[in-house]
Amino acid sequence: MKFGIVGLGSMGKRRVRDLTGLGHAVLGFDQRHDRMEQAAQMFGIRTVGSFDELSSAGLDGVVISTPPDQHVQYYELCHACRLPYFSEANIFTPPVAWFSERERASGVRGFPSATWRFHPLIGELSQRLREAGPSQVNSFSHQYAAFLPDWHPWEPYTEFYAGRRTTAAAREMVPFELDVFFDGLGAVACVQALKARARRWDTDFDDTYLMLLQFEAGPIGTMSIELHHVLPTRVTRVSLVDQELTLDMNAQALTIFDRASDASRTIKPQSLLQNWSFSFEQVYREEIRRFVAALTGQQYPKSWADERHLSDVLYAAELSSASGRAVVVRDITSAYDGVSWIKG
């Protein structure tokens, strides 16, 4: 099959690796000529100077790897050209009806990024939460901590989207990290949050989101997103009635402590490379493989309704921080269109 990739930055290059590694042909486009030249040299792919050239090249689908505030304009273009598409993680997402109307008119579908759904340890955690049921979940805590300049060490954070207020890294990571729990616990009912700028930066953006979350099924928990930590951390702890689950993504390990037996066991994912040495690239490769499979009618594990809800929680968190009160997520689902607010 033949795919176009819009945006040849860090994620776009990763998607080139994914698709060519799966045996597909790739055509690239980026608004920056230096990135097109670099991708052509690195991967030997052909690049074109406009989306029109890309869309008229006989493609089977498009991968949208632009900064998140440019996603919607390319959704529109893909529907106009009747090209199915995959989108990287969103910050704000249009309502489900927005997608349904365009899918009916164009006859093609779009598919949102579902990265965490393809990580074996997240899958194991979600399955255990579903099997336990919400009544067995006391609470959870989740921390994602990183240092923004380390996201793209080859370029200043002032020169790419994660260092800008509208598309700041901490803002983007709220819906992305929340998906760790969404598959296992369902929708969020209420959020109380504080967002802030904890460190001095050369551009103006918030680097911290601290959230209290209550899910519709009952469980409560905390989630923190902090892009000012010089030592990265991604740790999840879930308190069940008789067990404690600890997911340490730095160690790539899920530890289950059972109170009855007073014993722990640790699960580590198998690797395509060697035992006990897991590469995150496998997750991205599987994500793209499932997108390609969805084009032939196979099931894809995430819907635009899922993606919209994750955006709703982010919107609710920012309203909560601004107002100093808890916000019911269902109360704000029609309060923004997911298109204009992304630019606000």
pTM greater than the 0.85 cutoff: yes
Task: Tell me the pLDDT band of 276, cut-offs 50, 70 and 90.
Answer: very low
Taking only the tens place, the pLDDT of each residue in 185-209 is: 999 999 999 999 999 999 999 999 9
Please give the pLDDT value at position 272: 44
Asked whether residue 344 carries a pLDDT value surpassing 60, the answer given is no
Asked whether residue 273 carries a pLDDT value surpassing 60, the answer given is no
* 96, 144, 202, 321 from 309: Cα distances, Å: 10, 20, 32, 18
Asked whether residue 84 carries a pLDDT value surpassing 70, the answer given is yes
Query: DSSP assignment, residue 277?
Result: B
Taking only the tens place, the pLDDT of each residue in 277-314 is: 567 889 999 999 999 999 999 999 999 999 999 999 99
Please give the pLDDT value at position 109: 97
Residue 16 token pair: 């080139």
Torsion angles phi and psi, residue 265, rounded to 5: -140, 150
Mean per-residue pLDDT over the chain, rounded = 94
Task: Tell me the pLDDT band of 271, cut-offs 50, 70 and 90.
Answer: low
CA distance 113 to 167: 17
Please give the pLDDT value at position 269: 83
Task: Judge residue 66's burial from the number of C-beta atoms within 10 Å of its C-beta, 0-12 exposed, 13-18 middle, 19 or more buried.
Answer: buried
3 state SS of 190: strand
Mean pLDDT of 34-49: 95
Q: Domains in the chain and their CATH numbers?
A: 2-115 (3.40.50.720), 116-278+303-330 (3.30.360.10)
Task: Tell me the pLDDT band of 342, cut-offs 50, 70 and 90.
Answer: low
